[in-house]
Structure 1
Amino acid sequence: SRHLNFTYGSPSSHLVTGVSSDVGISLTYAYDGQNRLSQITNPDSTTISFGYDSQSRIISVTDMNGKILESHTYDSNGRGLTSSRAAGVESVTLSYPNP
């Protein structure tokens, strides 16, 4: 059987700062000042960063070179409108019957 080990930040935050497996794979997690996930560091030291709007909704996922891997938009009610991956692969556009 395999096991995962979780590392946490301060006891009061309850935020996971790292995950490692018994086969040597590990990830580290960083958070911004509002305790939102801001970055994941992979075993090969590459990173993925997360961007948020003023309502703390995720709007972007970027790689360490600044390439946008995912983007998301929302309507004025906070409902998801669009979601797309790099180069428009797997794009989704939503509409709602009531504004």
Structure 2
Amino acid sequence: MSKKVIEELEKLISEQVNPRSINIDKLSVEEKKKITGAFQQLIEAERKKDKKLEEKARKELDNVVFDILGLAKQERQQVYEALKMLREMRLK
């Protein structure tokens, strides 16, 4: 499972809007555990098809990644706004 988690994280990181990046090899053991735990919670929520639980798990994963990137509250909001704009552009 850990290899799959890391591969998915690498994919997500390569698609990020923010110019900062994460070198997974340089993460601390604690940071890797936080990301893995949050990602596993998201997978479990998706398996249960529980939208509310899935949204909570997704937000937790976002926060773990944002913490590692050192993003402030305002920067986090900017990421969400940029992603919203990208989604809207794709739907047009």
Instruction: Report the TM-score range of the alignment, normalised by the length of the smaller protein.
Output: under 0.3
Structure 1 length-normalised TM: 0.24
Higher RCO (CA < 8 A, seq sep 6+): 2
Structure 2 length-normalised TM: 0.25
Q: Which has the higher helix share?
A: 2
Q: Which has the higher strand share?
A: 1
Which of structures 1 and 2 has the bigger CA Rg? 1
